[in-house]
Structure 1
Amino acid sequence: MTSTSNPRDLRSELDSLTTEAFRPELAEIDRLPTLDIARLMNGEDAAVPNAVAPCLPEIAAAIDATADRMAQGGRLVYAGAGTAGRLGVLDASECPPTFNTAPSQVIGLIAGGPEAMVTSVEGAEDSKELARADLDALAIGSLDTVVGISASGRTPYAIGAVEHARAQGALTIGLACNPGSALGAAADHGIEIVVGPELLTGSTRLKAGTAQKLVLNMLSTITMIRLGKTYGNLMVDVRASNDKLRARSRRIVALATGAQDTDIERALTEAGDEVKTAILVLLADVDGATATRLLEESGGHLRAALASAT
């Protein structure tokens, strides 16, 4: 998994990247009072959403294409190294409790495997072969979407994942933070959020990481909205896996229906604690079995199920 890049060539390549640029005006930041440094960081972070805004059309197009495939049974797979990989794993891991997705439906791959979540795995990010092997283990196909994530846009693991996925007929998205990136060029949908040089030279877990997190939030959340995982702005597919989520489930049913607590408890019992089903029981005045059937027939879309029940 060792890199074959010439160190001199790699240094020259890094020198050309916006995310690696040195900011001489911050050369003495370590001598500033802590509050001044905090204000500087806060000002830097505030600029990130404005950098995302010009890319919203590309982001929306990527989401629509992803949702189309996921509606047919496809998967959403993130692939990255280091901070980018960790952000992908984080977003994927939050989908089951938030949207009741199967663990195999949204997947995060990080170069070097689970160990790389907490420690550096030497050479993993430099290997396109490792990316291909990780995707082959998932049997990537034409209904799947693979998102390569790399702040620099040059990370071999992320590029290798996108190239291999595209060769398998999958939809590909390249998320980078430099313009004209190799990753963006390799993907069907290139999303390049140019946040500029970091407060600490080359520390792309800062603005670049924030930008990537914002885009991943959009990719997963809006895709799930398109798939019917919400009703309005309520998370009606939330999985009640702990006390907080159980309480949230009851609150969601109450907000969606305006029903009394006793009716909510009855509906949830009939629905096997499925929030979406319980809402349909109450709003359509049907039993749990009928609500389940209506939701199945509507592909899990609550609004469509309600329309068919009237």
Structure 2
Amino acid sequence: MDPRRTEALHDAASGLDARPLAEVARLLAEAQITAATALRAACPAIAAAAADMARTIRTGACLHYAAAGSSGLMAAADAQELGGTFSIPAGQLRIHMAGGLPSGVEMPGATEDDTAGLDAALAGLTSADTLIAVSASGSTPYTLAACSIARRSGATIIAIANNPDAKLFEGADHAICLDTPPEILSGSTRMGAGTAQKIALNMLSTLMAVELGHVHDGMMVNLTADNAKLRARARGIVERIAGVDEARAAGALEAAGARVKPAVLIASGAPDRETAETLLDRHGGRLRPALAQLG
């Protein structure tokens, strides 16, 4: 048998196909819950990596996500949420998925071995950029090749894998080991390993946003309010932080060009958008110290 944990047989999987579906369902649920606990040990590494991601965004450089298969889907999902949730500019985000992002239901497995085109895709990588490489096994050729290119460019490398001795960790600036147990369905890393990867990626991007000043008391104060639900959310955030009514919050958002942080400052007494933006710039985009100075 393959010595990697991601390919091992789970102790509880014997006779799986002969058990009642409700019992199998319970096993699957418990396995996912157990996989999620792997994040506890990885918290220090995740926090350190997020700080470097924030530095990359703050300096105008790019975050590059590189992965294949299920890991690629997890990485792409996180990257594609960063614009709406935190207003991270699209020009600072890149997704490199083996075989390209699927437009249909088919995702050929052979693409994870195909590294052709990576040199061209990562040709513009610089030492100011950060590469987030994700691979359950930690040995996917496509992801390893992306890391090799990143090392040559001097870019920061964040490696996420589910095997403790993964080759992906070699030379990485941040090695995030998600030591999940074997899958109930051996080798199906879209399950427990994938769950842990999704949590890690969500944690990385959220911690990055905290570091950038895009989070205030658990609220997304740098969201892009481009639909009715998000416009209502933005208005509610201004109301809550500034302690004003709906009408004043709506007026502040209009004066701030729909940007939440300057709207909060305007609703709290800043005379205009320029003053609010100046306060935010002075405090690195952080709302709390800007409010303190205004008050």
Counterpart in 2 of 1:103? 90
Counterpart in 2 of 1:3? none
Return the match for 1:240 from 215, 225, 230: 225
- In the superposition, relative to structure 1, how do residues 207 and 117 fare at CA in structure 2: closer, same or farther (>3 Å)? farther
Deviation of the 1:23 alpha carbon: 3.2
- Secondary structure of 2:131 counterpart: strand
Distance 1:122 1:214 in 2: 24
Counterpart in 1 of 2:251? 266
Task: Tell me if the contact between 1:19 and 1:198 (Cα under 8 Å) persists in the aligned partners.
Answer: yes
Does 2:34 align with 1:29? no
Distance 2:74 2:139 in 1: 17
* AA aligned opposite 1:67: A
Task: Tell me if the contact between 1:162 and 1:173 (Cα under 8 Å) persists in the aligned partners.
Answer: no
Specify every segment of 5 or more residues in structure 2 that has no aligned partner in the other structure, as ranges.
none
Distance 1:298 1:54 in 2: 33
Does 2:238 align with 1:253? yes
Distance 2:105 2:65 in 1: 18
Counterpart in 1 of 2:131? 146
**RMSD of Structure 2 on Structure 1 (CA):** 1.8
**Count of residue pairs brought into register by the alignment:** 295
Deviation of the 1:31 alpha carbon: 2.1
Distance 1:157 1:34 in 2: 36
Q: Percent identity?
A: 39
TM-score of the pair, normalised by structure 1: 0.89
Task: Tell me if the contact between 1:295 and 1:305 (Cα under 8 Å) persists in the aligned partners.
Answer: yes
* AA aligned opposite 1:112: G
Does 2:189 align with 1:218? no
Return the match for 1:277 from 250, 256, 262: 262
Deviation of the 1:115 alpha carbon: 2.9
Counterpart in 1 of 2:77? 90
Does 2:68 align with 1:81? yes
- Secondary structure of 2:220 counterpart: coil
Distance 2:241 2:255 in 1: 17
Specify every segment of 5 or more residues in structure 1 that has no aligned partner in the other structure, as ranges.
1-11
TM-score of the pair, normalised by structure 2: 0.94
Deviation of the 1:308 alpha carbon: 4.1
Deviation of the 1:214 alpha carbon: 0.8
